[in-house]
Amino acid sequence: MKNRYYRVGGLTFCIHPVNVDGVVVGMPDSYQPFRLQDQTDDLLFTLTLDQVFHFSEMGTKLGRFNEDNNPQEVYRKADGGYQFLLYSYDKVLSAEMETDQAFRYITLRLQGSPQQQLFGLNNAVMISYAFSSARCGTLLMHSSVTMLRSWGYMFLGKSGTGKSTHSALWLKYFQGTELLNDDNPVLRVNDKGRVTVYGSPWSGKTPCYKNKHARVGALVMLEQKPYNRIERQDVPHALSSLLISCSLMMWDGPTYHAIINTISRILQAVPVYHLENLPNRDAAELCRSVIER
Amino acid sequence: MKTKQGFNIQDICGVKIIVAEGIQNIDFSKIISVNDTAAFLWTEAQRGDFTEQSLTDALVKEYDVTPETAAKDVHELVQQWSDNGLILP
């Protein structure tokens, strides 16, 4: 297997296979739209797939976290780097991962059934991306995103609040709407303060892996209520909405500060709204009438 | 009293906010916005051991306020910090 290069959110990373006997999977299909033929610029990170890799010794356990019901254990090494044990949906260990503190050089060993390995690989790449890109003004934002007239609108909310449902309403009722991503798009603010949302290989249950991007018009925090009402959030509430919606790494100071800084810059450029809503056409119409650019 | 570690004031779009950081505060999900006076007092309190009296003194020194008003404001604020789990006895 040769090196493979992918560009997501304008940032390029490399999957570097060294010892891959026993690996029964390739890269998930969702990465295909993002594949580059060759390396063209600096790498965000290199993820080495090495089936003979083993942790030399375990670091200090920082905790066990349940990301979308996929438990992961995180350990801090003496040199500041991190170790991860990634468990699949069925709670089986599917990957061991070790990284330097900046998440530039990552080593991964997969195990389990083909399905579990695929899961471990995808999860490892997503974690690597989220944390290595944090220093580049980038956030992986748990949200569903629609595009309308070249603007991107991001719908946030806890699992089960109807993010996908709200996007579906826009698709159904507003001609010209396109779904960009349904779970974990990349949100990025550049040096000039312009905020862009990019499609990604991570889209939850909806297969929507688009190598497209749009300037962000608004972010909307959704909440189920027996009525429809929308208002703009003040800074503390908007900060809270974005913090609970992005992949955090509270245990790593530099990354956490970078994330707070990125959110602060996003809030300077893009309004955040709170939409209390029913899953109906009125909610979508109300929302659009207030947030559309 | 002492402030808990990892609660620092951040300037987010011109608004001062106490944000929790560090593994020990991973379950702290509140965002606490503070006005200029509260921000000043929090920074004072972060210097080390503090009492309501030491904060009142600092407030009187920095702002044009009577000791009585300062004491009352400090008392309310420290109560708030305590209710929100921001300080250790």
**Best mutation site among A66, A82, A235, A259 for testing chain B: the one with the most B CBs within 10 Å?**
A235
Single residue among A116, A136, A156 that ends a domain in this structure: A136
Q: Are residues A79 and A37 in the same domain?
A: yes
Q: Are residues A170 and A119 in the same domain?
A: no
Angle between helices B52-62 and B36-45 (to 10 degrees): 130
**3-class DSSP assignment, residue A270:** coil
How do the domains of chain B map onto residue ranges?
2-88
From B32's Cα to the closest Cα of chain A, the distance in A is 7
**What would the pLDDT profile of A98-127 be if each residue is shown by its tens digit?**
999 999 999 999 999 988 999 999 999 999
Q: If 0-12 CB within 10 Å is exposed, 13-18 middle and 19+ buried, where does residue A150 land?
A: exposed
Q: Are residues A101 and A214 in the same domain?
A: no
Average pLDDT, chain B: 92
pLDDT at B76 over 90: yes
Q: What are phi and psi of B66, to 5 degrees?
A: -75, 150
From B14's Cα to the closest Cα of chain A, the distance in A is 9
* Separation CA B55–CA B40 (nearest Å): 10
Name the residue among A237, A244, A250 with its Cβ closest to that of B22.
A250
Do A189 and A269 form a contact (C-beta atoms < 8 A)?
A: yes
Q: Are residues A130 and A206 in the same domain?
A: no
Q: Are residues A144 and A132 in the same domain?
A: no
Q: If 0-12 CB within 10 Å is exposed, 13-18 middle and 19+ buried, where does residue B22 land?
A: middle
In the prediction, which pLDDT does A254 show? Answer: 85
Higher pLDDT, B23 or B33: B33
Q: List, for chain A, all residue ranges whose pLDDT scores fall below the cut of 50.
A: none
The helices-and-strands tally (H runs, E runs) of chain B is 3, 5
Which residue from A minimizes the CA distance to B18?
A236
Q: Please say whether the dihedral angle defined by the alpha carbons of residues B78, B81, B83 and B86, taken in this order, is positive or negative.
A: negative
Q: Report DSSP state, residue A113.
A: S
Single residue among A92, A115, A136 that ends a domain in this structure: A136
Q: Are residues A49 and A183 in the same domain?
A: no
**3-class DSSP assignment, residue B4:** coil
Mean pLDDT of B19-40: 84
Contact residues on chain B for A247, CB-CB shorter than 8 A: none
Q: What angle do CA A172, A174, A177 make, to 5 degrees?
A: 90
| Domains identified in chain A, total number | 2
Q: What are phi and psi of B30, to 5 degrees?
A: -85, 155
* Separation CA A273–CA B70 (nearest Å): 37
Give the structural domain span for A255: 138-291
In the prediction, which pLDDT does B30 show? Answer: 79
From A282's Cα to the closest Cα of chain B, the distance in A is 32
Q: Are residues A107 and A53 in the same domain?
A: yes
Q: Are residues A256 and A149 in the same domain?
A: yes
Single residue among A90, A114, A136 that ends a domain in this structure: A136
pLDDT category at B19 given cuts 50, 70, 90 is confident
Mean pLDDT of B60-84: 95
**3-class DSSP assignment, residue B85:** coil
Contact residues on chain A for B18, CB-CB shorter than 8 A: none
Q: Are residues A142 and A171 in the same domain?
A: yes
Q: What are phi and psi of B49, to 5 degrees?
A: -65, 140
* Four-point Cα dihedral B73, B78, B80, B85, nearest 10: 170
pTM: 0.92
Do B41 and B74 form a contact (C-beta atoms < 8 A)?
A: yes
In the prediction, which pLDDT does A65 show? Answer: 85
Would you tell me which residues 252-271 of chain A have a C-beta closer than 8 angstroms to some C-beta of chain B? 253, 256-257, 260, 263-264, 267-268
**3-class DSSP assignment, residue A214:** strand
* Candidate CATH numbers 3.40.640.10, 3.30.200.20, 3.20.20.70, 1.10.10.1150; the one for domain B2-88: 1.10.10.1150
* Separation CA A176–CA A96 (nearest Å): 44
Strands A82-87 and A70-76: antiparallel
Record: contact A243-B31, CB cut-off 8 A = yes
Q: Are residues A186 and A116 in the same domain?
A: no
